[in-house]
Amino acid sequence: QVQLVESGGGLVKPGGSLRLSCAASGFTFSDYYMSWIRQAPGKGLEWVSYISSSGSTIYYADSVKGRFTISRDNAKNSLYLQMNSLRAEDTAVYYCVTTVVHKSTGWFDPWGQGTLVTVSS
Amino acid sequence: SYVLTQPPSVSVAPGQTARITCGGNNIGSKSVHWYQQKPGQAPVLVVYDDSDRPSGIPERFSGSNSGNTATLTISRVEAGDEADYYCQVWDSSSDLNVVFGGGTKLTVL
């Protein structure tokens, strides 16, 4: 079955960096668009970034643009999120999510279990 | 940027019908997707493209979208339906902008 397993979360100081990874299995990873979505403690969902199946098309939310970098390695069935210049407001559970794009819309299914990133001094 | 508005909470008795709304400017012109999130778990897609259900989602879950309001309807509500529900739209007219509603806590009385 489809499995998405995130890793790399943890405690980091403001201004620091962290790299999240997502290991995918149970499907042909290279055929699918992928995204990162985050959820601050007790808060709602916030889309962070999107990458096309080949990696040629990438988008970011304004809140992370210039600080975060999404990438993928289709040979390793892996998705990454490099996070630099981290701020307290980046504290959240980060989900790796398979993204379905159809005509002019897109949705997220399925989701990994998430990895917690805490930015604090 | 585009804003989706959901009521913070909805309460319903078991066996009754719950309706969770998602308001947005001319949302009827967009496709709306809905997610269920139980405490401590990742979200799960329950409705996509306004009214389609992924495999494995009970027929009790349905969706509609018109005008300025999209609605997730849960018929014959069960205790296990108690969760947070989020609506979502996708705007790729220029740069990509994915918007989630603030979420609605469904309480089964």
pLDDT tens-digit map of A63-85: 999 999 999 999 999 999 999 99
The reply to whether A1 touches chain B by the CB within 8 Å rule is no
Report CA-CA distances (Å) from A5 to A44, A117, B31, B36, B102.
21, 15, 29, 20, 26
**β-sheet bridge partners, residue B22:** B70
- For residue A97, give both structure tokens: 């999510």
Give A-chain residues touching B99 at CB under 8 angstroms. Answer: 47
pLDDT tens for A5-51 read 999 999 999 999 999 999 999 999 999 999 999 999 999 999 999 99
Q: Is the pLDDT of residue B93 over 80?
A: no
> Residue B91: what pLDDT?
82
CA dihedral B70, B75, B78, B81 (to 10 degrees): -20
Which residues of chain B are within 8 Å of residue A61 when distances are taken between CB atoms?
Answer: 98
- B31 contacts on A by Cβ (under 8 Å): 104-105
CB contact under 8 A, B96 and A59: yes
A104 interface with B at CB cutoff 8 Å: yes
Per-residue pLDDT at B95 exceeds 90: no
Q: How far does the CA of residue B41 sit from the closest CA of chain A (Å)? A: 7
B77 vs B96, higher pLDDT: B77
* Exposure string over B67-84, b if 16+ CB within 10 A, otherwise e: eeebbbebeebeeebbbb
The answer on pLDDT for B94 being more than 80 is no
Residue type, B36: Q
Which helix (H) or strand (E) segment holds residue B14: the answer is none
Q: Distance from CA of residue A63 to its chain's centroid? A: 14
Q: Do A109 and B92 touch (CB under 8 A)?
A: no
Predicted local confidence at residue A104, as pLDDT: 87
Burial class (CB in 10 A: 0-12, 13-18, 19+), B28: middle
Instruction: Give the Cα separation of B68 and A20 in Å (integer).
Output: 38
Instruction: Indicate yes or no: CB of B92 within 8 angstroms of CB of A104.
Output: yes
Higher pLDDT, A96 or A104: A96
Instruction: Report the pLDDT value the prediction gives residue B42, as an integer from 0 to 100.
Output: 98
